Structures are given as C-alpha cells and as structure tokens.
Structure 1
Amino acid sequence: MIQVNKSPISFLGLIIWLIAALFFLYEFFLRTFIGTVAHQIIPGLHLTPESFALIGSAYYIAYAIMQIPVGVLADKFGVKLIMIFAVLVCAVATWLFAQSTGFGFAFFSRFLMGFGSSFAFICLLVIAVTWFPRRYFGFFAGTSQFIGTMGPLLAGGPLVFFLSKTHGNWRLVLSLIASFGVLLALLILFIVRNKPRGGEQALIYLKRPQGLSQSLKLLFKNSQMWYIAFYSACVYASIVVLGAIWGTDYLEARGLTQRLAADMVSLAWFGFAVACPLLGAFSDIARRRKPTLIFCSLLGLLSTAIITYVPIHEHWIYGFLFFLIGMAASGQNIGFAIISEHSSLTTRASGLGLNNAMIILLGAIVPPLISLFIDVSHGAHLTASDFIIGFSFLPALSVISFFIAAFLIKETYGKPQREPIVLKTG
C-alpha cells in the first residue's frame, strides 16, 4: 500500500520541508566554514597548508562515497530516522573537530562530518516528492537549493563576526554550532513524518512490487538515469571551476583587483540561487523539462565562451557573465526533477543520489584536469592567456550537456514515468 495525500500542499508538509531545508543549510555551512577559520585552525592544530587541504578534502570524500547508499537507506527506512541519525552525526563530528589537537583527529572528524552531511540534500528532495504535488517539484527543489546557499553566506561574514566576539576562539564557536545540530535533531524527532497521514486510500497493485536489489539493477540499467546524471554534472562543472577555484585568479589576471574579482565571482552563486527556484517553477508550469535543460546548456556555452575567449574592459560585464554562469548551473536542479520522474517508487531516492553523486564526482575531476592545462610557469603572476587552453573545457562541457539534453534525455511532461498501475479501493 502507498499513501495519497488529498490536500495539494499542507501546512505540516511545509514545516517538515523547512526543517529538512534547515538541515541542508546546516550541512552547507559545515561544508564551507573551514576556509573562514583557516587562520585559526592551521596554527591551532599545527598544520601545513598541504595537511589543511587534506582535512578539507576529507569531507568531500565521505560525501561523494555516500550518495548512492544514502538513497538506498532513505528508500528502505524513511527520511525521519535517517535525518535524526545524520544530524546527530554532524553535531558529534563538529564537536569532535572542536576538540581536535592534531591532523589525525581533525581528519577523522571532518570525514565524519561529510558522512553525516551526505544525507541532507537527498532527504530534502525525498520530502519534496512525498509531501508536495509532483508538478511543484522543480520549484521546491530549486527553493531548497536557494536556502542551502545561505549556508556558505553564514559561514562567511557572520562566522567572522562571532569569531571576533569570542576573540578567535574557534573551538567555542564550533561547539555552539554542534549544539545547534542537537536542537535540529529534536525538531526532526517531534515534527517530521515520513508520509502524510491524512487522505489515505488503499491501493491494489496491478504490477507486482519489485525487491530493492532488483529495482536497483533496473535503475542502473536505465540509460535515462545516466544521461540525466551526466547532463547535470556537465552543466554544473563551470560554476565549480569559476565560482570556487579559478574565477578570482582569472579575473585578477584580466586586471581586476582581488576584492572586485571576488565580488564578481560571488555573482555566480547569486545567479544560481535565484535561477534554481525560478527555472524550476517555469518547468513545472510549462510541464516541460527539456526546454529548460537546453536553455541552461546554451546559456553556459555562451557565457563560458565569452569569458574564456573575449577580452572585456567593463567590469560589470564580467559580473553579468558570472551571473549567467550561475543561472546555467541551475540546470542541475531540473536534472533532479526529471530524474525523479524517470525513477520508480522504490528507487526514487537512489536515483536522486546517483544524480548528486555524478555532480560531485565530475566537480572533483574537472578542476584538477583544467589546472593541468593552466600555465603556472609564471608563478603567482598569471596572465589571461595562461587560462585559455584549460578553460576551453568549460564551453566543451556545455556542448556535451546540450547534446545530451536535446537528443538523449526523454521528456517527462512533468509526470512520473515508472509508477505502478494501481486501483483505488476507497
């Protein structure tokens, strides 16, 4: 039996979704805070720049490894139990990190932090699928990503403010952040439900339900899953390269100051935050996913090609182009919507996990690959021409994503494609 909620959007559903979104924001904060406290952590733990980078990467290693297992666990046990466990793991890991005295313990606690955080986004998407009508999934998935981007913002200026108020006592600040995780776990315990209780109807399956292992085999054999996941990864890769790694250095090589370059790069994330709910809502209303996927690919191709090959003398144009790069990256949000519609009931969370895993995997591969082609023979004094060959990968990835969206991904018209055939008995 499955449950059907008669009311389109319930107040309780919104509250549950907001709590899950708060967990996603918390996870995103934990993902990014380490850069803000680097000046305190490196001497406090007696780290070298290399060992500090390894501690930072520990989070992503655990996060990437867990994406498919997270989907399987969410499908099997439901989101409430999984979220309570995951938030408590994050809280404990943050507290352990605050008690660290050296590299080994810090690396372990950071890895544990990534393990707990890996549950946040998939559980949030499962809640959106379960509690809201499918036609609104693109909007809620996009708004979820908008809320999540508040995490890095809080890990910036506000965290610096609290550090200054505690005279740089990062251990105390992280301990307080850990206690917030415990409070969040209590909210989940007392409020979150796996499924709506109201409006239940008994349903008789006309197709025999499949076991989990058989469903996963069918999931991995479904070419649409791989096409969508690879599209999402390709369309998102540019914001990873330009928004998180090389964007500031590149704009400095183009003549911008470090402060102005950083401001221009931040517009990429602003564009991403704005476009995710807007384009998600558009695809929901239009009942078409593919036009938005294609639009994001073409937008990414245009913006990355201009940034890479065209000398620009007006600073505001760079800001506009980086904003467009963020908009293009929001195509991965539509990827989550369409992959949920191509998944069966028993593998929906696993399909979402596959999409997220591919995004993270390509996001980890592309930046170092591009870095190999960036001429670093000038040391710290890079010129714009040093980036051209490496950055040529970015429009190429946009072309690949366009080809996948236009010719390989099948339109769902905003409807699930693999639901069981059922008869209502009530």
Structure 2
Amino acid sequence: MLAALIAGFMLSQAYRTAAAMMASHLQADFHLSSAQLGTYAGAFHFAFGALQLFMGTGIDLYGIRRTLLAVFPLTVVGALLSAYAGSFGTAVLGQALMGTGCAPAFLVCTVFITRRFAPERFAAVSGAVLGIGGMGMLLTATPLAWVVQEFSWRTGFLVLAGLSTLAWIGIFVLVRDTPRAATGSATAQITQALRGFGSLLAMPHTLGIIALGSVTYASFMSLRGLWLGPLLVDRYGYSLVASGNVALLVSIVSLFGPPLFGRLDPGAAHRRRWIIGFTLFMALLFALMAWLHSALALLGGAVLIAFISGYMVLQYADVRAAYPSELTGRAMAAFTMGMFLGIALMQWATGAVASIAAAHGFDAYAAALCTIALMLGAGALAFVALPAPKK
C-alpha cells in the first residue's frame, strides 16, 4: 500500500519540477517574461498548498484511499489541458489543476506512516519515502528534456497524463483504509476538524515552524523546479538535453539526503539547532551561486544543495514532536500547506525580482538566487526569534 501511495507522490514530484525543462520553450511559445514564468510555475504550488487543510480534513473524514482516488484524476485533466493549451492563461489553469490533483499525494504518505508505524520510526520511514518519491524528479530531468527537444513540451504533458492514470489504477487496486469508528455526522466532524485547525494555529510556536517551513523546501524547488534549466541554457549555453543531464544528477543526489538525515536525526534536544544551521548554510550556497559567475560553481552548489536539502525531513520530525497526538494529522497538513504556499510565493517573488533586475540592466539570475538566500535567512531568523514548543 505504501508503495502505491509513493507512486502518486513520485508523480507529484515530476509535475512540480517539469517547468525547469519546459521553461525556455514555454517562454518562446507564449512570449513570457520572467515574472510570468514564475507565476506559471508557482500556480501548481499555490493550488497544492492552499488545499492542504481541506485534504487533511478529507483524510480524517473519508480516509486516505477515497480522498486520493477522488482528487488525483485532476492531474490527468490538468496535464491534458496543458498539452493542448492555446494561451498562457490556459497553461496556468492546467498547472493549478495538476496542483489540486497532487495536493494529497505526500500528506497521505505521512498520515499512513503515522498510523501504521511506531513513533520512533517516523523520521526514518518518512525520510525513505521522501527519497524514493524524489525519483519522480528523474522523469523531469534527461527523459523529459529529450522528449521536449525531440517532440515538444506538449508531448511531455501527455506522457505525464498517462503515468498519472497508471498510478491512479495502482492506488485503486492496492490501497485500503483502516476501519474507522463512527464519530457523528459529517457536518459535526468537519466542524470539529476546523476547530482543531483553529487551536493548532493559535499555539504560539506554530508561526515560527511555518515561517521556516515556507522557505526551506521552496529554495530547493525554486532551483530545481524553475531556475536550473534557464540558468544553464541562457547563462552558460548548455543545450536542453545537457541541462537535463545536470537536473538528473541533482535529482539523483537529492534522493540520498532524506533517508540519511532521517537516520541521523539527533533527537529533540539538538534537532532545531541542526535545522537552523543547515538553513543558513543553504542561504550561503545560494548567495555564492549568485555572484560566482562560473558554471562549475553553479553545478557544485546545485549538487550540494540537493544533498543537504535532505535535512528538511527533520522539520517533519520537529512538527510531529511539537503537537499532541490528536493534532498530528492537522499539524502535518498545516505545515505542508505553508511549505507549498511558500514555494508558490518564492517562485513568484524570484520571477518578479528577476524581471525588475533585467529591466534595470542587472543580472536577472543573480537577483533571483539572492532573493532565495535572503528568504532563507529571514525564515531562519523567524524560527529562532519566535516562541519554540514547550519541552
């Protein structure tokens, strides 16, 4: 069952990183600015993040299987709409539909792990799931670059639609929910769930957790899912397939970080220090990539970021430890919502800053990378300055 759920998560990883390999062709076909490209890539993550609370409530009320089977077909609809899009607005709508369809993809995995595995195994198992699910990014590296170069970016979306259909069939056949006791009417359950979210957001340490969560994964996804391809093609003259090879390397390296950090989890006493330290190190790497105009520096920085981004699995362990067990599912949903809304915000913000920089004669890519570094620093500051969970 977990393998079937991971298949859906893998497809969500593929969808959210596809823009990096399609960016140049999309810009040419629709005459997009950097700001519009950021809006296009961010639409998926905005829809994905905005629906996390609703998906968490749906999982609580109707179970993992029914929630995922009901929503995941929208990925196919969005991919087909994108493949036949005749305008920028239609392409953005396709991204939003794909983001909606993928919205429960990782959340169902974390809830499944929470319900089926012992608490002390959570970090290790969720780290393994993140690593395996990250293989979806391999699809949007060299393979997608080849498809786009030999056929078109529209064909790439048709391939993703077919794979999503197969994943849905696998979930339908293999996944079963645990029996649940009746707890009153659906209206009463929804009201209770919303009250639970209210109490969660009222806790003083929630803001700091979400503030940092909104920039950490966003930094890696903004690099791998949006800027890596254009940087390599426009700044350093790489072909699309060559940039796909780099993306493939970055994606492969990123698979090893989450399982490793999941096993190296230092525990509650030191976990938050690790999170802060690695966040600041990531900010430094982005700043160096911005100002060292060297393809080698970009490649080395991207690979190193891909590996150490695995420390983000510690944030999920931190969330699990910060709330009582009855709020765990909703806490995961709220954190995931903040994380993916953060991706949408960062991709939009970096696109806007890049457009402004280019209009004033500055390096658009340096501006985008520096914006990511500053947002990471701001997130780390909020995490330190705002109240921490009580021991």
Which amino acid is the alignment partner of residue 191 of structure 1? L
Tell me the residue number matched to 1:23.
8
Does residue 183 of the first structure (1) align with residue 163 of the second (2)?
A: no
Whole-angstrom distance in 1 between the partners of 2:157 and 2:247? 28
Tell me the residue number matched to 1:125.
110
Whole-angstrom distance in 2 between the partners of 1:78 and 1:128? 14
Which of these residues, 280, 293, 300, is aligned with residue 279 of structure 2? 300
Tell me the residue number matched to 1:281.
263
Tell me the residue number matched to 2:31.
48
> TM-score, with normalisation over the residues of structure 2?
0.76
Which of these residues, 148, 154, 173, is aligned with residue 133 of structure 2? 148
Tell me the residue number matched to 1:216.
197
Q: 1:211 to 1:95 in 2, by over 3 A?
A: same
Equivalent residue runs for 1:8-19 within 5 Å: 16-19=1-4
CA contact 2:209–2:383 (8 Å) conserved in 1: no
Equivalent residue runs for 1:233-382 within 5 Å: 233-240=214-221, 242-243=223-224, 272-283=254-265, 288-305=267-284, 308=287, 321-366=301-346, 372=353, 375-376=357-358, 379=361
Whole-angstrom distance in 2 between the partners of 1:271 and 1:59? 24
**Over residues 329-360 of structure 1, what are the superposed CA-to-partner deviations in whole Å (9 max), with x where a residue is unaligned?**
33432222232344455543321121112122
Equivalent residue runs for 1:405-420 within 5 Å: 408-410=388-390
How far apart are 1:364 and its partner, in Å?
3.4
CA contact 1:128–1:137 (8 Å) conserved in 2: yes
Whole-angstrom distance in 1 between the partners of 2:64 and 2:347? 33
Gaps of 5+ in 2: 181-188
How far apart are 1:252 and its partner, in Å?
10
Q: 1:239 to 1:345 in 2, by over 3 A?
A: same
Provide the aligned C-alpha RMSD in A. 4.2
Structure 1 range deviating more: 353-362 or 313-322: 313-322
How far apart are 1:402 and its partner, in Å?
6.1
SS at match of 2:176: coil
Gaps of 5+ in 1: 1-15, 198-208, 412-426
More contact order relative to length (CA 8 Å, sep ≥ 6)? 2
How far apart are 1:66 and its partner, in Å?
0.7
> TM-score, with normalisation over the residues of structure 1?
0.71
Structure 1 range deviating more: 83-92 or 370-379: 370-379
CA contact 1:59–1:113 (8 Å) conserved in 2: yes
How far apart are 1:79 and its partner, in Å?
0.4
Does residue 64 of the first structure (1) align with residue 49 of the second (2)?
A: yes
SS at match of 1:408: coil
**Over residues 234-290 of structure 1, what are the superposed CA-to-partner deviations in whole Å (9 max), with x where a residue is unaligned?**
44454355555567888999x97758999888776555432211111222xx5x145
Q: 1:134 to 1:188 in 2, by over 3 A?
A: same
Q: 1:350 to 1:61 in 2, by over 3 A?
A: same
Q: 1:85 to 1:250 in 2, by over 3 A?
A: closer
Does residue 78 of the first structure (1) align with residue 58 of the second (2)?
A: no
Q: 1:256 to 1:295 in 2, by over 3 A?
A: farther
Over alpha carbons, which structure has the higher Rg? Answer: 1
Counting helix residues as a fraction of each chain, which structure ranks higher? 2
CA contact 1:70–1:350 (8 Å) conserved in 2: no
CA contact 1:265–1:319 (8 Å) conserved in 2: no
Which of these residues, 142, 148, 162, is aligned with residue 157 of structure 1? 142
Does residue 93 of the first structure (1) align with residue 78 of the second (2)?
A: yes
Q: 1:330 to 1:73 in 2, by over 3 A?
A: same
CA contact 1:236–1:332 (8 Å) conserved in 2: yes
Count of equivalent residues: 376
Whole-angstrom distance in 1 between the partners of 2:288 and 2:67? 47
Which amino acid is the alignment partner of residue 144 of structure 1? V
Which amino acid is the alignment partner of residue 51 of structure 2? M
Which amino acid is the alignment partner of residue 126 of structure 2? A
Q: 1:221 to 1:321 in 2, by over 3 A?
A: same
* Identity %, equivalent residues: 18
Whole-angstrom distance in 2 between the partners of 1:153 and 1:265? 8
Q: 1:350 to 1:243 in 2, by over 3 A?
A: same
Tell me the residue number matched to 1:397.
378
Whole-angstrom distance in 2 between the partners of 1:375 and 1:41? 21
How far apart are 1:21 and its partner, in Å?
0.9
Tell me the residue number matched to 1:194.
177
Tell me the residue number matched to 1:136.
121
How far apart are 1:47 and its partner, in Å?
2.6
